[in-house]
């Protein structure tokens, strides 16, 4: 029988050695000593599970539960969020209120602008109506004045006609003397000559050209046109004419025709292109007024 020495016995291992995993020294991979009920149930429910996989699952469940201990700050976070939400809601309400206020202001401004436009249109309409009424009143007054002046001229013309047809009238001097006689003689000498607009003699005249030429004979320079000649002297009544007075047709300062009164209810004037310079009675074409220069 062979004898074994102590050293030879030491060559064989007394207890079988189980190889250790290369991750066994890491704490997170070690099997937890106290298994939870969820780990046991999971292991029981998994048929044919591998021990290492189940152990890893248990370890994962255990470590997954550990962060739950770190959620103690959630109430503070929730309160903070509630404050933020409340502030956001308040800001939204304020914005809505501001929008509504602005909309009300815009509506009020639009309404005011519309009312102002309507008021302006009404004021313009009233102003136009007032101006129209004023214009009509002025036209009526002018018409009344013109009618009165026409009636006055008609009355004076009636007087002139009566004077021209009656002899020995005391309202008209038949005999011209001095400068008036010279003027009367000159215009009578031009009877029969032609009427030419703008002509001042000696072969043709227009109405004011004849009157101007006649008064030049006595050294008086009259204005050239009928409008100015109708205001060149002193206004006299048609019922008190004297030879040498200037007769005018139209208004004083706006006359359109002039001639010279030669006495006995007669006048000499350059009438128109068809008749030329003629001597006619006052009743032929009664004048509107007269001025006395001499």
pTM, two decimals, is 0.46
Distance CA 291, CA 235 (A): 4
Angstrom CA distances, 19 to 16, 22, 53, 156, stand at 10, 9, 18, 159
Mean pLDDT of 55-64: 50
pLDDT tens track for 216-225: 999 999 999 9
Phi-psi label, residue 60: left if phi above 0, alpha if psi -120 to 50, beta otherwise: alpha
Per-residue pLDDT tens over the stretch 192-250:
999 999 999 999 999 999 999 999 999 999 999 999 999 999 999 999 999 999 999 99
23 or 148, greater pLDDT: 148
Q: What is the pLDDT of residues 274-291, one digit of tens each?
A: 999 999 999 999 999 999
The strand pairing partners of 246, in sequence order, are 260, 291
CATH code, residues 162-292: 3.90.1720.10
| Residue ranges per structural domain of the chain | 26-60, 162-292
- Predicted confidence at residue 251, as pLDDT, reads 94
| Least confident range of 104-108, 127-131, 171-175, 201-205 | 171-175
Helix axes 207-216, 178-189, angle to 10 degrees: 140
């Amino acid at each position: 029988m062979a004898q074994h020495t102590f050293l030879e016995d030491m060559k064989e291992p007394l207890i079988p050695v189980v190889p250790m995993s290369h991750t066994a020294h890491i704490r997170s991979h070690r099997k937890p000593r106290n298994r939870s009920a969820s780990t046991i149930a999971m292991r029981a429910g998994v048929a044919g599970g591998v021990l290492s996989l189940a152990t890893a699952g248990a370890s994962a469940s255990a470590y997954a539960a550990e962060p739950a201990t770190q959620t103690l700050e959630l109430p503070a976070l929730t309160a903070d969020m509630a404050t933020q939400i409340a502030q956001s809601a308040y800001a939204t309400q304020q914005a809505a209120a501001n929008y509504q206020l602005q909309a009300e202001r815009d509506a009020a401004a639009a309404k005011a602008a519309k009312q102002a436009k309507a008021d302006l249109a009404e004021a313009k309409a009233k102003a136009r109506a007032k101006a129209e009424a004023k214009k009509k009143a002025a036209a009526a007054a002018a018409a009344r004045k013109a009618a009165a002046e026409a009636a006055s001229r008609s009355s004076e013309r009636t007087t002139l006609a009566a004077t021209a047809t009656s002899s020995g009238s005391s309202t008209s001097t038949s005999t011209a003397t001095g400068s008036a006689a010279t003027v009367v003689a000159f215009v009578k000498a031009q009877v029969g000559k032609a009427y030419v607009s703008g002509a001042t003699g000696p072969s043709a005249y227009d109405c004011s050209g004849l009157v101007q030429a006649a008064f030049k004979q006595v050294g008086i320079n009259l204005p050239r046109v009928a409008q100015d000649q109708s205001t060149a002297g002193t206004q006299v009544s048609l019922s008190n004419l004297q030879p040498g007075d200037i007769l005018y047709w139209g208004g004083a300062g706006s006359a359109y025709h002039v001639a010279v009164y030669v006495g006995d209810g007669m006048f000499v004037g350059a009438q128109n292109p068809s008749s030329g310079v003629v001597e006619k009675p006052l009743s032929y074409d009664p004048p509107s007024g007269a001025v006395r220069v001499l």
